[in-house]
Amino acid sequence: MPTLSIRIPDDVSTRLDRAAKSTHRSRSFIVKEALNKHLAEIVQDQGGGQTRLERLRALKGAGAQRHGALSAAQIEADIHEFRGDE
């Protein structure tokens, strides 16, 4: 079985430790179960013969088609406005 090494935030690590302890399962077991469940949700066929990922890809550019494309300068200005940058 292949091995995977990942970095996770401290809060996720704490939650993982608590889940492992409360279920009397290993951290690896909890992560494998969560990963299997999430991957199944991503690729699950939910009508129309498309996966969630395919439906998201189909939306690419929908905002520009509906409201007009923005220039890079407009996008940058919107980002600064959203952040509250000066």
At 29-46, the pLDDT tens digits run 999 999 888 776 666 655
pLDDT at 1: 84
By CB neighbour count within 10 A (0-12 exposed, 13-18 middle, 19+ buried), where does 75 fall?
exposed
CA–CA distance, 80 with 41 (Å, rounded to integer): 35
Tens-digit pLDDT profile for residues 54-83: 777 777 777 777 777 778 888 888 888 888
Residue boundaries of the structural domains of the chain: 10-83
Which own/partner pairs from 18-22 qualify as long-range (CB within 8 Å, at least 24 positions apart)? Answer: none
**Can you tell me whether residue 55 is helix, strand or coil?**
helix
Measured CA to CA in angstroms, residue 86 lies from 67, 75, 77, 82 at distances of 26, 15, 10, 11
pTM check: above 0.75: no
